[in-house]
Structure 1
Amino acid sequence: MTLKGKTAIITGSNSGIGLGVARELARAGANVVLNSFTDRPEDHKLAEDLGKEFGVVARYIKADMSSAEECRALVEQAGICDILVNNAGIQYVSPIDKFPADKWNAIIAINLSSAFHTTAAALPMMREAGWGRIVNIASAHGLTASPYKSAYVAAKHGVVGLTKVTALETAEEPITCNAICPGYVLTPLVEAQIPDQMKTHNMGREEVIKKVMLERQPSREFATVEQLGGTAVFLCSDAAAQITGTTISVDGGWTAL
């Protein structure tokens, strides 16, 4: 599944799932544009090292995904966008009646509205090139719900809906749009939570992972960023040319319950 000659923009990609997806796209030969809201030397070094590792062109472009203007500017500054991966996201947990309005607005902006703005900016480029792939990183929470995550669940359901609309609007063109719905993924952020959970529940590492953190994931195993990246590569390949407007769950059976 070669993506040589294609250019991929991955939002929220200087760590975690976004970086994992970027690495697998680069491994498949795609040039990549990394992104986050910071503009540190280490961000640009990350892109430089990625490019050297896989022999592709890799750049880092700073853009705040809570800003509609910066979302669109990211795509415009990249100059080319064959593959768009909308991954940027944040989380906040609180009961609805106590949920801070600013947190709600930020989650909707970054997790949902950013995907609309980047897609709107990328589609003309894809149409001009005669080929395009849009991969939205949704969540198991785009298909089901959990208490105290109203903004996140609403946003991810919205991402799934946006995916379907984008697919229908491009159905007669060589452009596809799909959503990957991960369950719990082993990222540095999740890894850092394990010691605290072990103390709270007085359990060993494996026990707290299986009985507490992965209680809703039937496989009792985390998905990996490499697996999500591999799924993205597949969706960008010719083998997936007739897959559009759908969701692929990488959740260890969570949404089968």
Structure 2
Amino acid sequence: MLKDKTALVTGSTSGIGLAIARIMARNGANVVINGFGDGDAIEKERSGIETEFGVKCVYSGADMTKGDEIADMMADAAKEFGAVDILVNNAGIQHVAPIEDFPIDKWNAIIAINLSSAFHTIHAAVPGMRKKGWGRIINTGSAHALVASPFKSAYVAAKHGIAGLTKTVALEVAEAGITANAICPGYVWTPLVERQIPDTMKARHMTEEEVKRDVLLAAQPTKKFVTVDQVAEMALYLSSDAASCITGSMMQMDGGWVAQ
């Protein structure tokens, strides 16, 4: 399905990003993975993708808060593979705190990684996509791209920004064979979600089980976490020719959250 295509997925050394990188590789795409983590574990994932799926997989340790490192990553990918055909902006971090206590450095980091990095990658990828007359830009949004929750000012602001960026880019490239969409899941059980539980416990004076039941899943009528594989399957679909007329869309995968 994706043979001779190249997919670059930011924030893909674990969780949603890794699941997306693997499904792209499984369907024939060469992949560029990116993120932080233990070097040996990352190499195991990288080499495992190559061995399991018979594609080429390279790793970039580019810091998503640094525009020059992002530009270098995109240039290296284009040099290695000719172009980035499928760009998945998935890198993200989270911090939970009341607005008056929200650390300035956390705000800056969340906006940089969750929003500005997507601008930098898209800025670099679009010329190559235009030249080929084909491209897929997939941004990991969130239900928080559409609605807000308390204590998540930076994250909600960044994800609302992703929604606006996605729509604007979709309009600009609509006649170039390029689509731009955002996947907006509800709560997915990932390391990012797991790590925010202690902060939410502190902010809301709750136990862990209360946070899961009364905060995380309270908004999702299905009362189930979205899985990383479900998000990856959506990314694969948006990369297919069947989705060529889907652009500028916020693809909700939130168990009915935003429908309420």
Identify whether the pair has TM-score above 0.5, normalized to the shorter chain.
yes
Q: Identify if the C-alpha distance between structure 1 residues 103 and 212 changes in structure 2 by more than 3 Å, giving closer, same or farther.
A: closer
Q: Identify if the C-alpha distance between structure 1 residues 191 and 112 changes in structure 2 by more than 3 Å, giving closer, same or farther.
A: closer
Contact kept, 8 Å, 1:38 with 1:62, in 2: the verdict is no
Report the CA distance between 1:42 and its aligned residue. Answer: 2.8
What TM-score, normalized by structure 2, do the two folds share? 0.90
Contact kept, 8 Å, 1:138 with 1:179, in 2: the verdict is yes
Contact kept, 8 Å, 2:197 with 2:208, in 1: the verdict is no
**Per-residue Cα deviation, 1:10-69 (whole angstroms, up to 9, x for no partner):** 000000110011111112211111001457233233111112111211111110000011
Q: What is the CA–CA distance in structure 1 between the aligned matches of 2:252 and 2:219, rounded to whole Å?
A: 14
1:167 to 154, 167, 170: 170
Residue 182, structure 1, aligned to residue 181, structure 2: no
Q: Hey, which bits of structure 1, 4+ residues long, moved more than 6 A?
A: 192-197
Residue 156, structure 1, aligned to residue 159, structure 2: yes
2:114 to 111, 115, 125: 111
Report the CA distance between 1:125 and its aligned residue. Answer: 1.2
**Per-residue Cα deviation, 1:144-163 (whole angstroms, up to 9, x for no partner):** 00011000000000000000
2:255 to 241, 245, 252: 252
1:246 maps to amino acid: S
**Per-residue Cα deviation, 1:191-239 (whole angstroms, up to 9, x for no partner):** 5788998xx6486xxx975555311111111111110000000001001
Report the CA distance between 1:90 and its aligned residue. Answer: 0.4
Partner residue in 1 for 2:242: 239
Report the CA distance between 1:189 and its aligned residue. Answer: 4.7
Contact kept, 8 Å, 1:137 with 1:179, in 2: the verdict is yes
Contact kept, 8 Å, 2:13 with 2:36, in 1: the verdict is no
SS in 2 for 1:181: strand
Contact kept, 8 Å, 2:87 with 2:125, in 1: the verdict is yes
2:237 maps to amino acid: F
Partner residue in 2 for 1:133: 136
Q: Which runs of 5+ in 2 are unaligned?
A: none
Report the CA distance between 1:117 and its aligned residue. Answer: 0.3
1:77 maps to amino acid: D
2:45 maps to amino acid: L
Q: What is the CA–CA distance in structure 2 between the aligned matches of 1:213 and 1:162, rounded to whole Å?
A: 26
Matches within 5 A, 1:43-82: 43-79=42-78, 80-82=83-85
Report the CA distance between 1:188 and its aligned residue. Answer: 4.1
Contact kept, 8 Å, 1:11 with 1:87, in 2: the verdict is yes
Contact kept, 8 Å, 2:95 with 2:155, in 1: the verdict is yes
Contact kept, 8 Å, 2:223 with 2:255, in 1: the verdict is yes
Contact kept, 8 Å, 1:39 with 1:62, in 2: the verdict is no
SS in 1 for 2:181: strand
Q: What is the CA–CA distance in structure 2 between the aligned matches of 1:120 and 1:13, rounded to whole Å?
A: 20
Q: What is the CA–CA distance in structure 2 between the aligned matches of 1:123 and 1:104, rounded to whole Å?
A: 28
Q: Which runs of 5+ in 1 are unaligned?
A: none
Contact kept, 8 Å, 2:95 with 2:196, in 1: the verdict is no
Q: What is the CA–CA distance in structure 2 between the aligned matches of 1:17 and 1:124, rounded to whole Å?
A: 27
SS in 2 for 1:178: strand
Partner residue in 2 for 1:99: 102
Q: Identify if the C-alpha distance between structure 1 residues 202 and 81 changes in structure 2 by more than 3 Å, giving closer, same or farther.
A: closer
Contact kept, 8 Å, 2:10 with 2:89, in 1: the verdict is yes
Q: What is the CA–CA distance in structure 2 between the aligned matches of 1:23 and 1:74, rounded to whole Å?
A: 19
Partner residue in 2 for 1:90: 93
What TM-score, normalized by structure 1, do the two folds share? 0.91
Q: What is the CA–CA distance in structure 2 between the aligned matches of 1:181 and 1:52, rounded to whole Å?
A: 31
Q: What is the CA–CA distance in structure 2 between the aligned matches of 1:135 and 1:48, rounded to whole Å?
A: 24
Partner residue in 1 for 2:216: 213
